[in-house]
Amino acid sequence: MISLEEVRSRLELAGQSHLLRFWPELSADERDSFLGELSQLEPEELREHCRAAAEAGSRDSGAVGLLDQRMEPMSAEFIGSVSRSDQETLKQWEDEGFRQISQNKVAVLLLAGGQGTRLGVPYPKGMYNVGLPSGKTLYQVQAERIRRAEQLAAEKCGSSKCTIPWYIMTSEFTLEPTEKFFKENQYFKLDQSNVVMFEQRMIPAVSFDGKAILENKSKVAMAPDGNGGLYRALVDGIFEDMERRGVQYIHVYCVDNILVKMADPLFIGFCVSKGADCGAKVVEKAYPTEPVGVVCRVDGAHQVVEYSEISLETAEKRNTDGSLVFNAGNICNHFFTLSFLKSVAEKFEPKLKQHVALKKVPYVDEEGNLVKPDKPNGIKMEKFVFDVFQFSKNFVAFEVSRADEFSPLKNADPAAKDTPATARRALLAQHYRWALGAGASFLDGENRKLPEKPSLSENEEPPAVCEISPLVSCFGEGLGVLMRGREIHSPFILDEKKAEEIRKSQ
């Protein structure tokens, strides 16, 4: 192990020697643990990180540089759309996606390093149960979607079996509970060797005067380096694993979207058909000031512009048909080629923008007392996964339906949006629409037919409760044979067992 003298010298070089001020008070075990942690901090990198954080934190947070004059909407030739494409074209894209999946060229990569603080739970978001009739967690729903996508690709392309590896980027906070949860659930019947977990880096939280913060006497306050930390994390063995498996295309998404389509063959096929090295799913903004970033061009390069970086006038600009000029809402759902990801990690990662978050960081004061501040006292620096669009040689966007593909889980009930209630409602509304589209009708407890409402507003509960297992239908496919002409009592769960009973009765 590295010596105390060497660590002290490194910290002095970084201007952070205060981190050892409680050293005489530490036990032998605390000293060993602390030395191990401090040895991971490279002095030049630590010095530059603390300097940049303090400089960024000192800027007036209200003085956001507006990008109005430098931005323009994406050119139509680089945008695909589910709603504006004919069925033949959609089928061609989907077939191409399934073909790539069947050849084991597609992987999914989950960004799961966040702690779910706003959700108010002490465990990773993927373990959350939003209250579906089945009681399934987000992780289980996503695992079953992978299994179904593998099955569909094999059936459609005549292969005996294919694999969609699942890479899960965790953090120091989420790795252990995530591993434990998957083991306890037998990896949801996925092959354990195809579920690869890895950690993103942790970086120190910094005070406004440029000092790394002590969380306690023997530990630096650390925070994940943002989902843009993906690019550095991939270098530690993940690229090699992907190459060994023959992976060429990676579908990247965030854990909290209950409607995510895993390895979506339509999106994969569109991007591959267009020869894209990088792609993003987008949804139409709900209203001009919706607090989501928009995918557009700035100084000729593609990027996501945050809602705080444009004026109200620009946000409200409309085309002659009444649609918003800047309408492509970013939902953190991306396509990358492996070669593009490697080029980012090798050449461009240091150029990624550092985003500043002012946080309330618990710390120990000069006397060694734990302080829980009531206002922001620290700076956490993050990189964002989508800030690499500018480096793409062939970037495309793919517009999808919000009702079918985007309902994030961020806040605890009873917040107004992005809660367990809204996520549950979005999924059940989708399955209700699938059932009606497949020709089913619903009955209440007294065998009275319930009204059919194929079009529901975002905050409207479906008239009937219907949950369809991803193992039966992943994208709404194949339900006609199971549901056409059937009268179904609400609530209804269509799982594998129920589907098999129906098939046998026909």
Question: What is the tens place of the pLDDT at every residue in 118-151?
Answer: 899 999 999 999 999 999 999 999 999 999 999 9
Same domain, 257 and 339: yes
Positive or negative torsion for Cα 332, 90, 407, 67: positive
* Residue percentage of the chain with pLDDT more than 70: 98
Same domain, 75 and 47: no
Q: How many residues does the chain have?
A: 506
pLDDT at 57: 85
Same domain, 29 and 176: no
Same domain, 454 and 316: no
Q: Cβ distance 450 to 443 under 8 Å? A: yes
Cα distance between residue 478 and residue 488, in whole Å: 17
Element of type H or E holding 80: strand 79-81
Average pLDDT, the chain: 95
417 within domain boundaries: no
> What contacts 182, CB < 8 A, 6 or more positions away?
139, 188, 192, 195, 197
CATH code of 229's domain: 3.90.550.10
Residue 56 has pLDDT above 90, yes or no: no
| Owning domain of residue 27 | 4-58
Same domain, 29 and 87: no
Domain count, the chain: 3
Q: Is 251 helix (H, G, I), strand (E, B) or coil?
A: strand
Token pair, residue 114, equals: 């966040």
462 within domain boundaries: yes
Same domain, 364 and 447: no
Question: What is the tens place of the pLDDT at every residue in 160-178?
Answer: 899 999 999 999 889 999 9
Residue 438 has pLDDT above 60, yes or no: yes
* Residue percentage of the chain with pLDDT more than 90: 91
Q: How far apart are the first and last CA of the chain?
A: 69
Same domain, 167 and 143: yes
Q: How confident is the model at residue 65 (pLDDT cuts 50, 70, 90)?
A: low
Last residue of a domain, one of 356, 372, 405: 405
Residue 62 has pLDDT above 50, yes or no: no
Cα distance between residue 482 and residue 500, in whole Å: 9
Question: What is the tens place of the pLDDT at every residue in 366-424?
Answer: 999 999 999 999 999 999 999 999 999 999 999 999 999 999 999 999 998 999 999 99
412 within domain boundaries: no
pLDDT at 63: 46
CATH code of 433's domain: 2.10.10.100
The Cβ-side half-sphere exposure at 459, using a 13 Å CA radius, reads 3
CA-nearest of 55, 329, 34 to 210 is 55
Same domain, 228 and 112: yes
413 within domain boundaries: no
Q: How confident is the model at residue 308 (pLDDT cuts 50, 70, 90)?
A: confident
260 within domain boundaries: yes
CA-nearest of 171, 62, 57, 168 to 117 is 171
> What contacts 212, CB < 8 A, 6 or more positions away?
16, 19, 46, 50, 204, 205, 206, 220, 221
Same domain, 35 and 74: no
Question: What is the tens place of the pLDDT at every residue in 68-127?
Answer: 999 999 999 999 999 999 999 999 999 999 999 999 999 999 999 887 778 999 999 999
Residue 156 has pLDDT above 60, yes or no: yes
Nearest 5 degrees, angle CA 413-CA 418-CA 424? 75
Same domain, 458 and 488: yes
Question: What is the tens place of the pLDDT at every residue in 224-275?
Answer: 899 999 999 999 999 999 999 999 999 999 999 999 999 999 999 999 999 9
Last residue of a domain, one of 372, 405, 438: 405
pTM for this entry: 0.94
172 within domain boundaries: yes
Same domain, 463 and 319: no
104 within domain boundaries: yes
419 within domain boundaries: no
Same domain, 245 and 291: yes
Element of type H or E holding 293: none
